[in-house]
Amino acid sequence: MAKPTPLSGFPELLPEQRVVEQQVVDTLRRVFELHGFAGIETRAVEPMDQLLRKGDTSKEVYVLRRLQESDSATDSGLGLHFDLTVPFARFVLENAGKLEFPFRRYQVQKAWRGERPQEGRFREFTQADIDIIGKDELPFHHDVEVARVMVEALSTLTFLPPFRLQVNNRKLIQGFYAGLGAPDPAEVMRLVDKLDKLPVESVHGLLVDEAGLTPEQADRCLELATIRSSDDSFVDRVRALGVTDPLLEEGLAELAELVRRCAPLAGEKVTIEADLSIARGLDYYTGTVFETRLEGSESLGSICSGGRYDALASDGRTTYPGVGISLGVSRVLVPLLNRGVLVADRKVPSAVLVALTSEETRAEADDVATALRRNGVACEVAAAAQKFGKQIRYAERRGIPYVWFTGEDGHQVKDIRTGEQVAADPATWTPPTDDLRPKVVSTRSTTERTDRPKEQQQ
């Protein structure tokens, strides 16, 4: 068999990298649950009409088709979901009678998107979403809440670089474009959203050629997009542009409240900023929109985004408005893992290797391992009864900090990092808390830091 070739856009993690991902997911889950969010998992596939009904996603959807389909031009009418918001909206509609509203859910799951692979962008990736969805109405304070929860979750991942949460409100920008007299405010919004990919001059030309704006109107739209503020001073700057519209005023009020309520969370690692260039590409967003960027890794684009959607889920009688934010777990972690910025301090969960003096003593070694596991100590028995020096080197290569010996003098455990060896009872012994489970180490600092939840540090 020829050596396999990696598939571009489908990342796979080594064990020590997977440790990092699992601890990130565990930390997110803990924070989300502390705020009352319940976990769900939805199916991997959705009907094509659902996947294609919102936003320009037709080129990104992977279609599901049987290999031996008699007519290769047909498909099952199913596609792999490209995000978790559309499946969640469908889930709510199907299960509305069994849910209590407002319904708060978190979801950590794979998604698939047929786009060109590059750093931080993959065809298969893991997302972590939180959403709050209501029945017919959902008060604005939930927009503030999901922003604060995600900021808390990201802040708990202490090994990540500092990050910037950028917020805007589509009511604000849509009302501004309408008040300015734009023929198609939605088209203006779509084009302005390209500012992070195209030069200002190019976007200006598109606004004139494709959105039907005059050059003066295009100038005003781009002037709005330059406004950024870490407090609510942006309100006066927008009003100074001389455009009035009721929807604009509603958006200004909501965005100002969100910035004020999130400001106390800002600090050395967290910047919260009103950025009036943010629009988000998917057209189901109707109010608040979020984007988040890592400092020093801006090339990754937004690693955490979302917003308010008032009409994504409706059965014709009842509408279920919602607000949510999604963290691209793979987008954040895979580049940092590939650069060696993040790593686990050992390749396996084992804290102890139980040494073998001979194959005849394997049953006794298994009993020792069983006793240690009853105390919550992850361990494994040596694969072969080699010389002790080889067994210790085997533990070193895997990052296992302790080796357990059983002999005529009883039980002894050795810290192979320091060489210290002491008598111990497998029924009661546990290692120090820091050695109990693998830790996430950041090479950005000489200080080892971990995001392990407190209950994992007991």
Residue pLDDT, tens place only, 258-309: 999 999 999 989 999 999 999 876 678 899 999 999 988 888 889 999 999 9
Helix axes 200-209, 185-192, angle to 10 degrees: 160
CATH 3.40.50.800 domain residues, the chain: 352-447
pLDDT interval class at 444 (50, 70, 90): low
Tell me the pLDDT band of 455, cut-offs 50, 70 and 90.
Answer: very low
- Comma-separated ranges of CATH 3.30.930.10 domains in the chain: 15-343
Instruction: Look up tokens 């357990």; give the residue.
Output: 404
**What pTM value is reported for the model?**
0.88
The span from the CA of 399 to the CA of 351, in Å, is: 8
Looking at per-residue pLDDT, the higher value among 432 and 300 belongs to: 432
User: Closest Cα to residue 81, out of 59, 60, 95?
Assistant: 60
- Whether the CA torsion 94, 112, 344, 391 is positive or negative: it is positive
Instruction: Give the rounded percent of residues in the chain with a pLDDT score beyond 70.
Output: 93
Pick the CATH number of 15-343 from 3.30.930.10, 3.30.70.120, 3.40.640.10, 3.10.20.30: 3.30.930.10
Longest dimension (CA), the chain: 91
Handedness of CA 91, 93, 97, 99 (dihedral sign): positive
Alpha-carbon 259 to chain mean position? 22
Please say if the pLDDT value at position 458 is more than 60.
no
pLDDT tens track for 353-366 = 999 999 999 999 99
Over residues 326-345, the mean pLDDT reads 93
- pLDDT for 402 beyond 70: yes
Overall CATH class of domain 352-447: alpha beta
What is the sign, positive or negative, of the torsion defined by CA atoms of 207, 209, 213, 216?
A: positive
pLDDT, position 54? 58
Q: Report pLDDT for 74.
A: 57
Specify whether the CB–CB gap between 211 and 191 falls below 8 A.
yes
Q: Nearest to residue 128, comparing CAs of 161, 176, 88?
A: 88
